[in-house]
Structure 1
Amino acid sequence: MSSEIDDISLFTSAQTNLYKYGGPILMILGTISCVLSLIVFTKKILRKNPCAIYLVAYNIGNLLQIYTTVLLGILSNGYNIDLTLYSLSFCHFHFYTLLLSAVLSPSYLILASIDRILITSSNALTRQRSTLRLTYICIIGVTLFWLLFHIHALFLTHNIEPAPNVIICSFQPGLYASFMNYYIILIQDILVPLSMIILGAWTVRNLRKRHQVNFATATTAVTAVTTAAVTARPTHSKNNQLIQILIIDISIYIIFSAMMPPALIYIQILQSRSSSLAEIQLGILLMNFALFSSYIPYCVGFYTNFIMSRKFRSEIKKIIWR
């Protein structure tokens, strides 16, 4: 019994310190990252590119995630300040923004991936479909879809009392709670990352095919180089750099979101059988570590792009000198 109490105390302390000290640092780094990224992608030279517009929407979605989900997670887990307990309306709002912000940014990355598939296609007509008009329509359409799709959270979340004097804001118990748990696992934690992997691989495949075509054409004869520049022109350097940035953002998202499905599955297993307090606390700790890990992709985009992308570093230097 003493050992179990020590384990629970250790798990609780680790969770609290992670959010209390690591959370504010992550928020500050994330805010700086999003603001600087927005400054870069809204520059005149880039904002006419559809992929740059998707990355602007992505960073706006990241700011929404930081100042709703991340902030409330830090207050609750790090400082024991749970605002959802003081107001049922805020409980509704919290879960609505939690579900909304978790899919908005990834959706913009998926749209950007589709745009890069279009622009790297060997078919000229397909490349012409990558337009600013289509970009704005897709961003507005996807945003409205998720705004309406998650509206049920404003009505089916409640403050419940699972134990005496213990009140939590949660999904309505029963079928709805089970449905939402599986929705989060299947859609947010499996389907979204899988879509990113497939679309990213498709883009890389298109790039390799075009490079192979251009190389083969260029080696046939000196005169064929001029023809290749017209009929099979390589993707512009700016587009290549944006593709690189997109692949980096997708990779970071997948890596740091990978912990969430196992944590949710473990929680489901604990709920399906009789578990000790230490096991339950361990499950909560793993869940909160997975949540904290899932916040990281929204906060480090600027830094990874600055390290990996020459074009991004060049734009930052221009901003600093001006």
Structure 2
Amino acid sequence: MSSEINDNSSLISVLTNLYKYGGPILMMLGTVSCVLSLIVFTKKNLRKNPCAIYLIAYNISNLLQIYTTMLLAILSTGYNIDPTLYNLGFCHFRYYTKFLFTILSPSYLILASIDRILITSPNALTRQRSTLCITYIAIIGVTLFWLLAHIHTLFLTYILEPVPNLIICTFQYGFYVSFISYYTILIQDILIPLLMIILGVWTVRNLRKRRQVTAVTINTAIVAVHPTRPKDSQLIQILIIDIGIYIVFNAMLPPALIYLQILQARSADFVEFQLGMLLLNVAQFSSYIPFCVGFYTNLLVSKTFRYEVKNTIKC
């Protein structure tokens, strides 16, 4: 038992240093990434493209995620500063923004994937459904839906002191705790990545078909197939990379949450439960990375993005 406690103390120290030193670095990189990405995607020649509008919404959501959920996690875990423990409003705000922005950013990637499926479709009528009007309606609709869907966290979270000198901001015990656990695992950590994979593969499949077929014969007449524009192809590359990074760095969350559920079900001892919480915190830190590296990966994969960055620097 003594050796287990010492091991956990070492892990706690590693976790604290990860948030204390790695957190601010990641925040700085993320801020630069989101701001520069927004500058590029809001340029006149790009913001006319529906996919670019989705990526603008995605980067705005990422920036809000960095300065709400991520900032509070860095302060509480890395610096032992947690305003949510002493103010009920902060407690509500923390969980509301955590659930909202965790799912809002990937939702915009899913919308962008649907748009890329439309634009790469061999059917001309389907391609015409990719419009700026539909894009704005979809963004507003999804944003309002998630704003309302998570409003329960403003009423069912509270500050608790289970033992003397231990204050926590948590959910109401009972059914609500189980609901939050299963919602997080099934919706945020399984359904959202699964949708991303399916839609991403669908988009790539459409794109490959369009490249393979340059013309079709209909009643002895040759009809040219509408080609995918280079700019659309570049945006598809950016989107696929963003989806891939999101899935990779969020892969730790489902196992960590399931492990915690198992520990709770069998009434594990304090040391085991603390280890589970440490794993969860590391997984959560990993999940912040996709929101902070978009600009740098876009530079690597997209010629169009690099060209726009160069033009921006020259201006």
TM-score (norm 1): 0.94
Aligned residue number for residue 171 of structure 1: 171
In structure 2, what is the Cα distance between the partners aligned to 1:310 and 1:293? 28
Aligned residue number for residue 73 of structure 1: 73
* Post-superposition offset of 1:29: 0.1
Q: Is 1:187–2:180 an aligned residue pair?
A: no
* Post-superposition offset of 1:162: 2.9
Q: Secondary structure at the match of 2:264?
A: helix
In structure 2, what is the Cα distance between the partners aligned to 1:105 and 1:83? 25
Greater helix content: 1
Identity over the aligned pairs, expressed in percent?
A: 72
In structure 2, what is the Cα distance between the partners aligned to 1:161 and 1:272? 23
Q: Is 1:10–2:21 an aligned residue pair?
A: no
Q: CA contact under 8 A between 1:37 and 1:302: conserved in structure 2?
A: yes
* Post-superposition offset of 1:80: 0.5
Q: Secondary structure at the match of 1:133?
A: helix
Letter in 2 for 1:124: A
Query: Where do 1:1-40 residues align within 5 Å?
Result: 1-40=1-40
Aligned residue number for residue 279 of structure 2: 286
Query: Residue deviations 1:66-124, cap 9 Å, x none?
Result: 00010000000000011101101110111111110111100000000000000000000
Q: Secondary structure at the match of 1:167?
A: strand
Aligned residue number for residue 128 of structure 1: 128
Aligned residue number for residue 252 of structure 2: 259
Q: CA contact under 8 A between 1:91 and 1:158: conserved in structure 2?
A: yes
In structure 2, what is the Cα distance between the partners aligned to 1:193 and 1:262? 14
* Post-superposition offset of 1:217: 5.1
In structure 2, what is the Cα distance between the partners aligned to 1:11 and 1:172? 29
Query: Residue deviations 1:245-300, cap 9 Å, x none?
Result: 00000000000001000000011111112323321221111000000000000000
In structure 2, what is the Cα distance between the partners aligned to 1:158 and 1:124? 53
Query: Where do 1:131-150 residues align within 5 Å?
Result: 131-150=131-150
Q: Is 1:57–2:57 an aligned residue pair?
A: yes
Letter in 2 for 1:194: L
Query: Where do 1:222-301 residues align within 5 Å?
Result: 227-228=223-224, 232-301=225-294
Deviates more, 1:50-59 or 1:308-317: 308-317
In structure 1, what is the Cα distance between the partners aligned to 2:172 and 2:289? 29
Structure 2: 5+ residue runs without aligned partners? none
Q: Is 1:320–2:308 an aligned residue pair?
A: no
* Post-superposition offset of 1:152: 0.6
Aligned residue number for residue 92 of structure 1: 92
In structure 1, what is the Cα distance between the partners aligned to 2:104 and 2:168? 26
Number of equivalenced pairs? 313
Query: Residue deviations 1:20-59, cap 9 Å, x none?
Result: 0000000000000000000000000000000000000000
Q: Is 1:305–2:298 an aligned residue pair?
A: yes
Letter in 1 for 2:175: L
Q: Secondary structure at the match of 2:213?
A: helix
Runs of 4+ in 1 over 6 A off after TM superposition: none
* Post-superposition offset of 1:309: 1.2
